[in-house]
Structure 1
Amino acid sequence: MTIAIGQKLPQATFKEKTADGPVEVNTQDLFAGKRVVLFAVPGAFTPTCTLNHLPGYLENHEALVAKGIDDIAVVAVNDWHVMGAWAQQSGGLGKIHFLADFDAAFTKAIGLDIDLSGGGLGVRSKRYSMLVEDGVVKSLDIEESPGQATVSSAQAMLERL
């Protein structure tokens, strides 16, 4: 079952690459007492994710912060090496948390997994964005197609805020 507005995010642990190697980031530390934009992509370095979805959040980082957002995070069912390389290549280091949900545990727990095996990708995350306040989902926008980034875009999130 898909997580709904008003529900608390489940406890989960991600990996994030830092200069000192991988660190564990858990939902409690990331969301407690904060207003966070979380968006998910089917895969780092994939076309829509790299050319459309992520750049919008990077370009609108300051505008989101000005609207009271404490943190921005992107999650993908990739390993922390891939997410770290994507953070570095995109210029997103220090602006956005690049969270590796390597085994899709978080993605499955919130009911937003999708099987893209037909395209050679395996189990991945649906593309979505959510506003999370103190661990509780306040808005959730899920794309109908993994190749689109419209309702989950940074611009759509800014308009919502």
Structure 2
Amino acid sequence: MIAVGQRIPDAVLSELTADGLVEHQVRELFAQKKVVLFAVPGAFTPTCSNAHLPGFVALADEIKAKGVDLIVCVAVNDAFVMKAWGEQQNAAELLMLGDGNAAFTKALGLDLDTGSFGGPRSRRYSMLIEDGVVREFNLDAPKAFEVSDAKTMLGKL
């Protein structure tokens, strides 16, 4: 599992833009930037939609005022789902990225198999990444939402 002080693994995350599908190389996207990254088990799921994503939407300006260049939300969903969820949640200030095949999530060691309920998913976490290196890492216990929230991250910036 990824830890504070380690470099973020390289992988491809997808974004659906007005110009079409964009594939981002993670290391390139995060290079020379201060990034808040948070991951959710799935778009449109109850805790993710009612608390996790809305918290980052509500505090986006305050987080960016602390020198954060990007706030990134990742889920093991495709870019089409992530775009629709971001639009529904008014998440225009966030970068909504899909990890459709869970390659990034697995490279982090943060994958979770939910079986027939949803298959491979991500554990719930948030990270502060500076120039590709993890500086803060907040990992929630399975089925919990206690430390990966926006307010906790804001307090650590």
Q: 1:107 is matched with which residue?
A: 105
Separation in 1 of the partners of 2:18 and 2:69?
22
Consecutive unaligned residues of structure 1, counting only runs of 5 or more, are none
Per-residue deviation, 1:111: 0.2
Aligned partner (choices 111, 127, 135) of residue 130 of structure 1: 127
Q: Does 2:122 align with 1:157?
A: no
Q: 2:70 is matched with which residue?
A: 71
Per-residue deviation, 1:117: 1.3
Q: 1:97 is matched with which residue?
A: 95
Name the amino acid aligned to 1:63: E
Aligned partner (choices 137, 140, 143) of residue 140 of structure 1: 137
Q: Alpha carbon RMSD of aligned pairs, Å?
A: 0.9
Residues 76 and 98, structure 2, Cα contact 8 Å, conserved in 1:
yes
Per-residue deviation, 1:114: 0.5
Per-residue deviation, 1:29: 2.7
Q: 1:34 is matched with which residue?
A: 33
Residues 112 and 122, structure 2, Cα contact 8 Å, conserved in 1:
yes
Q: 2:81 is matched with which residue?
A: 82
Alignment size in residue pairs = 157
Consecutive unaligned residues of structure 2, counting only runs of 5 or more, are none
Per-residue deviation, 1:149: 2.4
- What TM-score, normalized by structure 2, do the two folds share? 0.97
Per-residue deviation, 1:55: 0.3
